[in-house]
Amino acid sequence: MTDSIYTRDGSAWLPTSAARGPWGATLHGGAPAALLCHALEQGGGGRFPLARLTLDLFRPVPVEPLEVSVRTLRSGRRLLVQEAILSSGDRELVRATSVHADEMPLDPGPVPPASPLPSPDDLEETSLAAGIAGQGRALGGEDGLHHRLRIRRIHGLGGSGAGCAWLHLPLELAPGTPLSPTVHLAACSDFANGLGQLRLPAGEGTVGFINADISLHLLRAPSANRIGMDARNDAHAGGRGLVSAECWQEDGLVAKVTQTALVMPAG
């Protein structure tokens, strides 16, 4: 099995089987999130650290050669705003905007609370797909990001609308291009909906929720490729949900994620 999400062919990014989601021949949302975050990090030249990444998921991303274009929307003394577009042929699939912000250390500064999550070292590791199957749900496919993501479950994952786990994605973006801690966090940000998935009875079947976007707000840069995520879905009877998640490392809060979630048949 491949150890990367993509391979390269000139300027094109070719998705591997590890990039797939559980819904057929399309990518998991974490795969384009990682790629666009990487492109925006490279485009910014390391000038300022990433403070916000927002992705609009216009269309399912096919298992086809993909191109990424980046442009600067604003470059100031303390802020850099960029846009990245993921496309296949003439189809725009995902659009991302990023805010990169200067830092000014405070002395003395606020004392951040430690992580409220139990240590990952005390929890059993499995794949997300296996962890969800153990809670009475199933995710399809023989490979994909949901099979590759390693989790240490704390609670939830059974479709109740809340879930919490430590996450680690042991993949490279492409051969020779490791996932930086920030790109790893971006890849994991799409899993907020999976951890906090809400399934409800509806007529003869059930419904769940699919996220139409991802907004990742970073309090600070992550220091390692392991994130504790505590996610929930606050749904409305009108058929829309608001997914939110806190992202922790053992020394404190790193980021928060929000997603617009739309109701969909779940079988």
- Identify whether the C-beta of residue 143 lies closer than 8 Å to the C-beta of residue 128: no
Angstrom distance (rounded) from CA 96 to CA 133: 32
Give the residue numbers spanning the domain of 241.
Answer: 6-103+117-265
Instruction: Tell me the pLDDT band of 2, cut-offs 50, 70 and 90.
Output: confident
Task: Report yes or no on 68 lying in a domain.
Answer: yes
Task: Report yes or no on 13 lying in a domain.
Answer: yes
User: What pLDDT is recorded for position 124?
Assistant: 97
Is the predicted pLDDT of residue 6 greater than 70, yes or no? yes
| Predicted TM-score (pTM) of this structure | 0.95
Instruction: Tell me the pLDDT band of 111, cut-offs 50, 70 and 90.
Output: confident
Q: Domain holding 189: CATH number?
A: 2.40.160.210
Task: Report yes or no on 80 lying in a domain.
Answer: yes
Task: Report yes or no on 1 lying in a domain.
Answer: no
User: What pLDDT is recorded for position 107?
Assistant: 85
Is the predicted pLDDT of residue 1 greater than 70, yes or no? no
Task: Report yes or no on 10 lying in a domain.
Answer: yes
**What would you measure as the largest C-alpha separation in the chain, in angstroms?**
60
Model confidence pLDDT, tens digit, residues 226-261: 999 999 999 999 999 999 999 999 999 999 999 999
Task: Report yes or no on 141 lying in a domain.
Answer: yes
Number of folded domains in the chain? 1
User: What pLDDT is recorded for position 145?
Assistant: 97
If residue 120 lies in a helix (H) or strand (E), which one and from where to where?
A: none
Angstrom distance (rounded) from CA 258 to CA 242: 7
